[in-house]
Structure 1
């Protein structure tokens, strides 16, 4: 009799633990707490290394992201420049990245972007810096325009007036004035 009672008590306790553990993931949703592991679309979210991929997937870019680094208040991105990319696509991506990272987050104050040509060749190393941009939160005010609605000249002026952009000789070679 004692063994059967011990088995029933053990089964009862195991069932209670299993039910409790199965309800544990739903506690965040029912209590109204937001998870740091998923990026929500509301304005001014806290960007963490856990939800950074979710945010980056939502950003419409034409250039490919090669590397991302998130520190306390800075995001650094390396973008790969394809051979057939035009100037407007590069500027549009720079504008979109700065706009998204600085206007839609609470904790990011600087965005560093490097555009790198990874195509390589016989006379150049395998990767070359083409363009670099440093964008700061204080210069993003009233940057609500959709980059698709801006012309190439408007995009270039917006970026150069707001942020620090450094062009290399590779940029000037690839996109002469």
Structure 2
């Protein structure tokens, strides 16, 4: 064989191999192999330990997330209550978390949220529960409004009518009626 033919065949094979290798990542995405590791914006995705952080960073919260636990059908979150937080910020975050986690996922049926005040000093001795909420999928069906469209009274009524909310004396001291 002539050298020019060998070089041509080698060049042709190299191009074919390069095209095949560049198509592999696209084939993984169309086969759904990448979807378990990153959160897509489609409704009804499967929430796992691998894509939990991807979903949580998309949720616009004012309170800081301190702890997250995901079991088979329940998501538990601890939120840190800053000293200067107002009650509407807390209600918006609760509404947003319930709406996002129960509407955009397939496998989460309950969202448990605790709002905890850590302002007393060391974490183990001074943390106090301020508020707790348990939200279930069956009560989220018609929550189309965004939390920014609702007033404080509307947010409070929506949350109390749909979910179980427990207020502690710390909440009543901080936000008296």
Query: Which of the five TM-score ranges fits, normalised by the shorter chain?
Result: 0.7 to 0.9
**1:28–1:35 contact (8 Å) kept in structure 2:** no
Match of 1:36 in 2: 36
**1:67–1:77 contact (8 Å) kept in structure 2:** yes
Aligned positions of 1:51-130 closer than 5 A: 51-120=51-120, 125-130=125-130
SS of 1:129's equivalent in the other structure is strand
Structure 2 gaps of 5+ residues are 1-13
Partner Cα distance (2:29, 2:90) in 1: 39
Structure 1 runs, 4 residues or longer, greater than 6 Å off: 18-23
Deviations 1:47-76 (A, max 9, x none): 111011000000000000000000000000
SS of 1:54's equivalent in the other structure is helix
Match of 2:8 in 1: none
Aligned length: 160
Partner Cα distance (2:58, 2:173) in 1: 32
Partner Cα distance (1:31, 1:109) in 2: 27
Aligned positions of 1:145-160 closer than 5 A: 145-160=145-160
Match of 1:7 in 2: none
Deviations 1:60-113 (A, max 9, x none): 000000000000000000000000000000000000000000011110000000
Partner Cα distance (2:110, 2:117) in 1: 23
Partner Cα distance (1:85, 1:48) in 2: 31
Q: How far apart are 1:141 and its partner, in Å? A: 1.1
